[in-house]
Structure 1
Amino acid sequence: MKRTNQEVDNTSNKKAKMTLQLNDEEAALYDRQIRLWGFDAQRRLRNSSILIVGGKALSNEVCKNLVLAGVGSLTIIDNENVTKEDLGSQFLVSEKNVGQNRAESMKDRLVRLNPSVKINIISDSIESKDTSFYNEFDVVCVTGKSLDSLIKINNICRENNIKFYASDVHGIYGYIFCDLLKHSYIQEKKIKYGDEFKTKKTELTEDYIPLEKSLGYEFKPEKSLKRFLRKYSSTYFLIYTLLQFQNQNKRLPKYLSEDEENTEDLNKLKAIRDALFKKYNINSAVLSDESLSKIIRNAGMELLPICSVVGGILSQDILNMLSKKELPITNWFCYDGFTGNGVIHKFI
């Protein structure tokens, strides 16, 4: 297929970025990291261009960690303004930023964290951007968006050979999904030679699939509920049900009060769960009605500790992917703050 001039230019720009080297000041600044994962890995971070969609609490955690690690450039896009409610969960904004654009409000503190990282701010909606907008980025990380937006952006990234992450937090629950296309990484193993241990490095590859395809994963029935839950966590089915509800109703479930159950939304969640469970003959005990009631109470809520956990794992995985050290998440990570359990599911 013949490439357009714009595609050729974008390819040239990405190759040009890879020629950048760490200067002495940067080498000193990132000395500990270079000792940990090597000079080449730090250089890859230095030459990376990352887009973060969304500027709420989860995004704050991810941006902070990526900036401290020394990525090349970080672009944040968000068209919404800081609210008073944001102050309880976001640490990159303050009271003076209420009413101001979220992404713009984050910039000052991020720059102070690491002036070596180029911070770009876009105060538009991601939905207003066309395909060409994404071409300058190596990684796109989308937070706080609905399923239809995630699928659309993921497909654009696939067409342009861009790594894709999606993540969100709903109260005590959180998830990460990644589509890294065909990803190469270095596996290190300690091998004993005589009385000494030496490190053996092997280059491996992992194939990923798009979000839409992963949601159509065909579950294999197990003879017992216990065996099924060892293989598939109930938290994934909770996240799946919530995403499908949001996609069908163009909103999240609404919490009414402690004394009044939102039976309408609960029944809609049950219908989504039951349809999936019937299709694959999954035991209904995997995801109880009580769990669905909990997700109604948690939907759309940001708790700083949960954002810190999920955001920390997400940013570390992005760094692993960029540095090509270790295998990144393949391809779902689901977190339940009630139990403290985080589970990786490979739905490929």
Structure 2
Amino acid sequence: MAEHIPEERALTEEERQKYDRAGFIGHQVQKRLLASNILIVNMTGSNTELAKNLILAGANITIVDNEIINERDTDTNFIFTKQLLGQKRGQIAQEELKLINPLVKIDWLQEFPTPDKLIKHNGIVTSTTDFEEMIKYDKLSREINIPYYNLVCCGHYGFMYIGLGSKFTYEREKKVVMQIVFGKKLQEQDRYREFEEVIAHSVPLEETLNYNYKPQGMLINTIYYCLLMMKKAQEIPELKAYDPYQPNDELLDKFTQIGKDIYKAANGKDATEEQANTFRDFARLYGIDYCPVYSVVGSVASQELIISTSRINEPALNWFCYDSVQSYGQVEVIQDVSSFKVRDLPERKQLVPKE
């Protein structure tokens, strides 16, 4: 299916004053954002942070959420207060976010749109720990060729899955090329910005989870196993329904043991006490949006949505993992990117003005 790239739209005078930072993110990026629409499913803390950043940048959003605001929402979401308990979460999110930037369009749906309406969007964002749901959305996004993101926070740890659809074309800048112009001194060389087009794709979510990955580095020694813990927990009914707000030591021990088993299978040795404590901490806060974490994950996600919507600059691939304990995050590219097609864009060559 064809790619869904928003057409550039000229700024009104009011928008020009509002988004005067367009010189920073690029006028072409800004024009495409104004014509874009991102579908956000469920207004969790992570997705609300993402939505706030997108509308401040000028993107339009569509909220899909028919849940009722409960006390967990007021504990983990910055736009919901105790006075809003019992009201429609999606409707309140629409009203509150509109106050942040009245210039953008914010729609609210109580049901997920049909495919014919879905293709009018430039990205799909969900927030769930249910891998069956993630895989369902990932397959759908690949069928209609729309980027898909899933944001998950579990206490001190955050994850973002990044799927670019079946085909994704973007433009990136090549390294600055120094050219010696005849008759000029070396220090007076002309400098050029050169660009290239990349036709990329991302492997299916299931493939990233079944990949025979050999963890390495300080982050992956803990966080990647937590990601696999989530996947494994989905296969055990009592853990799939595990509620961190209702502590259960027996289930917590069983959940923690999954992490230990995964670690031992991958490394041939037992997890250290520190790693085992990380697995237990992850299980204890499984699925809980923690503000310092979702603010980071939501911010990174908004940057990636801006890139994938504008098709300017290189997007992240596969997984972003964040460990707030170590204040460290990284993108885990699991697939082989050598198959991406690249061609030069000589018509985009630009002379860099001398200072």
Q: Normalising to structure 2: TM-score of the pair?
A: 0.81
Partner residue in 2 for 1:237:
225
Structure 2 gap segments, 5+ residues each: 180-185, 336-355
Identity %: 27
Per-residue CA shift, 1:138-183, capped at 9, x if unaligned? 2001113411111001101111111100111111110001110333
Partner residue in 1 for 2:7:
18
Match of 2:94, SS state, is helix
Partner residue in 2 for 1:184:
169
> How far apart, in 1, do the equivalents of 2:157 and 2:218 lie?
19
Q: State the one-letter code of the partner of 2:122.
A: D
> How far apart, in 2, do the equivalents of 1:112 and 1:254 lie?
33
Q: Does 1:113 align with 2:107?
A: no
Match of 1:285, SS state, is coil
Mapped contact 1:148–1:247 kept (Cα < 8 A)? no
> Residues 271 and 296 from structure 1, CA distance in 2 versus in 1: closer, same or farther, beyond 3 angstroms?
closer
> How far apart, in 2, do the equivalents of 1:202 and 1:92 lie?
41
Mapped contact 1:56–1:102 kept (Cα < 8 A)? no
Q: State the one-letter code of the partner of 1:200.
A: E
Q: State the one-letter code of the partner of 1:213.
A: E
- Which residue, out of 64, 68, 73, partners 2:52? 64
> How far apart, in 1, do the equivalents of 2:103 and 2:144 lie?
28
Q: Does 1:141 align with 2:125?
A: yes
1:34-73 paired onto structure 2 within 5 Å:
34-71=22-59, 73=60
> Residues 264 and 252 from structure 1, CA distance in 2 versus in 1: closer, same or farther, beyond 3 angstroms?
closer
> How far apart, in 2, do the equivalents of 1:211 and 1:100 lie?
34
> Residues 229 and 174 from structure 1, CA distance in 2 versus in 1: closer, same or farther, beyond 3 angstroms?
same
Q: Does 1:340 align with 2:334?
A: no
Q: State the one-letter code of the partner of 2:171.
A: I
Q: Does 1:206 align with 2:200?
A: yes
- Which residue, out of 285, 289, 293, partners 2:271? 285
Q: Which of the pair has more CA radius of gyration?
A: 2
Q: Note the C-alpha offset of 1:204.
A: 2.5
Mapped contact 1:52–1:59 kept (Cα < 8 A)? yes
Structure 1 gap segments, 5+ residues each: 1-6, 222-227
Per-residue CA shift, 1:2-45, capped at 9, x if unaligned? xxxxx9xxx79x68x6264333332332121x201322211211
Q: State the one-letter code of the partner of 1:218.
A: N
> Residues 37 and 203 from structure 1, CA distance in 2 versus in 1: closer, same or farther, beyond 3 angstroms?
farther
Q: Which has the higher helix share?
A: 1
Q: State the one-letter code of the partner of 1:186.
A: E
Say which structure, 1 or 2, has more relative contact order (CA 8 Å, 6+ apart). Answer: 2
Partner residue in 1 for 2:19:
30
> Residues 130 and 265 from structure 1, CA distance in 2 versus in 1: closer, same or farther, beyond 3 angstroms?
farther
Q: CA RMSD for the aligned pairs?
A: 2.8
Match of 2:283, SS state, is helix
Per-residue CA shift, 1:293-321, capped at 9, x if unaligned? 11122112222111111111111111122
> How far apart, in 2, do the equivalents of 1:215 and 1:60 lie?
26
Q: Does 1:101 align with 2:91?
A: no
Partner residue in 2 for 1:4:
none
Partner residue in 2 for 1:172:
156
Q: Note the C-alpha offset of 1:110.
A: 1.2
1:236-275 paired onto structure 2 within 5 Å:
236-249=224-237, 250-252=240-242, 254=244, 262-271=249-258, 274=261
> How far apart, in 2, do the equivalents of 1:39 and 1:321 lie?
16
1:300-319 paired onto structure 2 within 5 Å:
300-319=287-306
Partner residue in 2 for 1:218:
212
Q: Note the C-alpha offset of 1:190.
A: 2.9
Q: State the one-letter code of the partner of 1:240.
A: L
Mapped contact 1:169–1:301 kept (Cα < 8 A)? yes
Mapped contact 2:259–2:279 kept (Cα < 8 A)? no
